[in-house]
């Protein structure tokens, strides 16, 4: 599995991770788009289903978007009839977000799509291989989370995305 392009092996692996992540995202986007839902809306619905009464601020933090973006998503989902905002009796500037009854059938359908995609994505992997992959990804994530300034001993490698790579968002 050697790389013949002459680039460092870690750069090739980083690029493969990036392209693979984009493929997963694109496939999911195509699947849920047919239901009239974006990945962002699905993420909000799924989060609120796991944490009923979550605040918009917490939604923004969890989804790593601005509070304005989270607010707009919540507004659209309220207008679509899938979410409702309930006032916080202790703070009139804060709302708690809840699913409506109309959201559950959509959430069930989206969950089936997500499960089917996961099954296809990891087809052929043993439990041990999945455990190992999970450990590797956790280590990569921990290395990235350390963050800070990059020195010459630890340069940032920006994976170059090929022209035919799948765009994200």
Tell me the per-residue pLDDT of 51-67, one tens digit each, with 9 for 90 and over: 999 999 999 999 999 99
pLDDT for res 68: 95
How many beta carbons lie within 10 A of that of residue 43, not counting itself?
15
pLDDT for res 2: 54
Element containing residue 93 per DSSP (H, E)? strand 91-99
Tell me: pLDDT of 106 over 80: yes
Find the helix packing angle between 67-79 and 56-63, rounded to 10°. Answer: 110
CA distance 84 to 48: 10
Mean pLDDT of 83-105: 91
- pTM of the predicted model, to two decimals? 0.69
Tell me: pLDDT of 150 over 60: no
Lowest pLDDT segment from 28-37, 114-123, 145-154 = 145-154
Tokens matching residue 81: 């009839």
Percentage, residues of the chain above pLDDT 70: 83
Tell me the per-residue pLDDT of 4-51, one tens digit each, with 9 for 90 and over: 566 799 999 999 999 999 999 999 999 888 888 888 999 999 999 999
The answer to whether 32 and 90 have CB atoms below 8 angstroms apart is: no
CA distance 97 to 83: 7
What does 52-85 look like in DSSP terms, one character per residue? TTEEHHHHHHHHT--HHHHHHHHHHHHHTTSEEE
Reduced to 3 DSSP states, what percent helix, strand and coil does the chain have, rounded to the nearest 5?
A: 55, 10, 35
The answer to whether 63 and 149 have CB atoms below 8 angstroms apart is: no
pLDDT for res 161: 36
CA distance 88 to 95: 5
pLDDT for res 1: 55
**β-strand partners of 98:** 84
Domains and CATH numbers, the chain: 9-125 (1.10.10.10)
Tell me: pLDDT of 169 over 50: no
pLDDT for res 86: 93
pLDDT for res 112: 92
């Amino acid at each position: 599995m050697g790389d013949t392009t002459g680039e460092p092996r870690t750069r090739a692996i980083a690029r493969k991770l990036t392209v693979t992540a984009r493929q997963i995202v694109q496939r999911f986007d195509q699947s849920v788009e047919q239901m009239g839902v974006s990945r962002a809306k699905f993420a909000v619905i799924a989060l609120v289903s796991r944490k009923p009464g979550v605040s918009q601020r917490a939604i923004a933090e969890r989804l790593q978007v601005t509070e304005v973006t989270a607010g707009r998503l919540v507004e659209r989902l309220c207008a679509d009839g899938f979410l409702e905002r309930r006032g916080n009796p202790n703070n009139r500037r804060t709302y708690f977000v809840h699913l409506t009854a109309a959201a559950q059938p959509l959430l069930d359908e989206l969950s089936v799509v997500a499960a089917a995609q996961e099954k296809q994505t990891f087809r052929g992997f043993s439990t041990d291989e999945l455990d190992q992959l999970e450990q590797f990804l956790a280590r990569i994530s921990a290395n990235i989370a350390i963050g800070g300034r990059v020195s010459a001993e630890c340069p940032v490698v920006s994976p170059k995305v090929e022209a035919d790579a799948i765009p994200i968002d």
